Structure 1
Amino acid sequence: MRGQAWAGQDPTGWFMVQKLGGIRAFWDGSKLFARDGKIVLAPLDFISSLPPGVSLDGELWIGYGALPELTSILNQNLSDLWKDVKYIVFDAPTHHGTYPQRHAFASATIPHNSNRIKMIPSERCIGLEHLQSTLHTITTKKGAGVLLYHPESSYTPGRTGELLEVKDSFEEEDVTFLKCNENSR
């Protein structure tokens, strides 16, 4: 399930989830896959922490602003580098039901004492100010934004309007200023 850009729709009643900015990964109950369908070669101790027989949708993550480091860890495929990698779950794709039902199901399948797999919290949005405040809190920590799940949405492969991506519209841009030669015309 992939979101569409939020276009200012009323967020009241939708479920807000933090968009972390990690690497999307799907657990099919026995293997971990990247969004492009390739198997993620995670070490056995990492894989053994994931629940067998349950499909989960989430992100591999090591921290805010650490995507280059995470990408390097995944590309090197050295098990000792995976010690800080976590699988942050936000959905259960094969579980029938609405988003809150899938979220609750996924949460119930995750071992709560694991430091490798965590369920991302979701919160029902009470209005635009609530969304803006949550977005500000997340982007201040260098998070990527907010995902809004429609409360009655079923899991839909591909892009859907029942999942909206909200990003800070005032994201800083990298701007390079060229030093000009004062003598040039």
Structure 2
Amino acid sequence: MLNRRTLLLFAGLGAALSGRAAFARAAAPALMLAEVYRPGMSLAGYWVSEKFDGVRGYWDGQKLWTRGGEPVMAPAWFTASLPKQPLDGELWAGRGRFNHTMSTVRSQTPSDTAWHEIRFMVFDLPAQGGDFNTRLAALRKLLPITDAPWVVAVPQQPATTHEDLQALLDKTVKMGGEGLMLHRGASMYRGERNNDLLKVKPFEDAEARVVAHLPGKGKHHGRLGALMVEMPDGQRFRLGTGLTDAERDQPPPIGSLVTYRYNGTHPSGLPKFARFMRVREG
């Protein structure tokens, strides 16, 4: 039979664990997420910037987090001069260097050498108040920070026509960029997916959850042939194109979210020409 002291100890431990769980849930930031731009949508009042292929980073004024609420173990020098107000941006090592960014940001033992190649590309001030035009003006006053030149305000320019947007997209992609972002100037910061923020890419992408590993045949005999993935609406499809040999040998775990690219959809809603891109970060 447990004595009173033991019961109190268990009660205290339970409260501590509950507190940690609540903290973990609270740490996941409610970030503004983008819908997809489609030709014909009005560009009036939008700003356009490059879409950086990195890891979403949220600075809450004290700590750095991923989109999924995981703490980022950046070196102390990287965050020492950041302001006390929240910053929303992308941790980015440059065009075509997503894997370096991912491995650096997810490492629990930060490498100074690797982090010196990371920039924090800030595109919004979530707690600033006012519309995006107002927040952008405040961001331009806040950055750059002399002691932290790796923290950069994302360059923004007014959007004009679809033809100009397409020309800028083509130029950006040819230089190794992933695409563009459109941000409506009159929008308030809302921690949800909406048309105030739009992504412009030469292809569409989406996320699906891995539900099974399908065995390979022929040259892939003895390892992964394809992932069976499930879309948010419950539909499933095979995702095998785009996987590297290393990913077939050590496939994304069942239950993980993966990002895939595609070109349009079938009448059923399933993607056409789906191609694996990566395991979703955070």
TM-score over 0.5 (shorter chain): yes
2:126 matched to which residue of 1? 93
Does the CA contact (< 8 Å) of 2:144 and 2:153 recur in 1?
A: no
Q: Does 1:124 align with 2:158?
A: yes
Kindly name which structure, 1 or 2, has the bigger radius of gyration based on alpha carbons.
Answer: 2
1:28 matched to which residue of 2? 60
Does the CA contact (< 8 Å) of 1:32 and 1:39 recur in 2?
A: yes
2:99 matched to which residue of 1? 68
SS of match in other structure, 2:85: coil
SS of match in other structure, 2:43: coil
Q: How does 1:130-169 map to 2 (within 5 A)?
A: 130-169=164-203
Corresponding residue pairs, total? 174
**What is the identity, as a one-letter code, of the residue corresponding to 1:90?**
F
1:3 matched to which residue of 2? 34
**What's the CA shift for 1:89?**
0.2
Q: How does 1:166-181 map to 2 (within 5 A)?
A: 166-169=200-203
Deviations 1:45-90 (A, max 9, x none): 0011322x11110000011011111111123332322111110000
Does the CA contact (< 8 Å) of 1:49 and 1:116 recur in 2?
A: no
- TM-score, normalised to structure 2's length? 0.58
Q: Which runs of 5+ in 2 are unaligned?
A: 1-31, 206-240, 244-282
**What is the identity, as a one-letter code, of the residue corresponding to 1:55?**
P
2:81 matched to which residue of 1? 49
Separation in 1 of the partners of 2:194 and 2:204? Answer: 25
Separation in 2 of the partners of 1:56 and 1:108? Answer: 13
- TM-score, normalised to structure 1's length? 0.86
**What is the identity, as a one-letter code, of the residue corresponding to 1:87?**
F
Q: Which runs of 5+ in 1 are unaligned?
A: 176-185
Identity of aligned pairs, percent?
A: 31
**What is the identity, as a one-letter code, of the residue corresponding to 2:92?**
W
Give the RMSD, CA atoms, in angstroms: 2.1
1:16 matched to which residue of 2? 48
Does the CA contact (< 8 Å) of 1:11 and 1:131 recur in 2?
A: no
**Pair 1:12–1:128, CA change in 2 (3 A):** farther
Separation in 1 of the partners of 2:86 and 2:128? Answer: 8
Structure 1 residue corresponding to 2:138, chosen from 95, 100, 105: 105
